[in-house]
Amino acid sequence: MKCIHCQGEMKPGTAPFHIDRSACHVTLDSVPAWVCTQCGEAYFEEKEVDAIQELVKAIEEKTGAFATAS
């Protein structure tokens, strides 16, 4: 597998993931990913993307209660 940015070799590893939403900031330190040995670009497989999306959705549902409480 080649990196689409630099054509470097992708190897299994882990990478951090960070997302900002209006009510929260989520940082995951070590998510399984394909990581480029040349530039460090990370690609997440479908199961990791699905898990991240579920986590963010659950957090948004819980933090939505803060917005309605004001």
pLDDT at 25: 86
Q: Which amino acid is at 6?
A: C
pLDDT at 69: 52
Mean of all residue pLDDT scores within the chain: 90
Residues 9-65 have pLDDT tens digits of 999 999 999 998 777 789 999 999 999 999 999 999 999 999 999 998 998 888 776
CATH architecture assigned to 10-69: Roll (3.10)
Residues facing 14 on adjacent strands: 32
pLDDT band per the 50, 70, 90 thresholds, residue 67: low
Report domain extents, the chain: 10-69
Phi, psi angle pair for 66, to nearest 5°? -65, -40
pLDDT at 46: 98
Q: DSSP string spanning 29-63?
A: EEEEEEEETTT--EE--HHHHHHHHHHHHHHHHHH
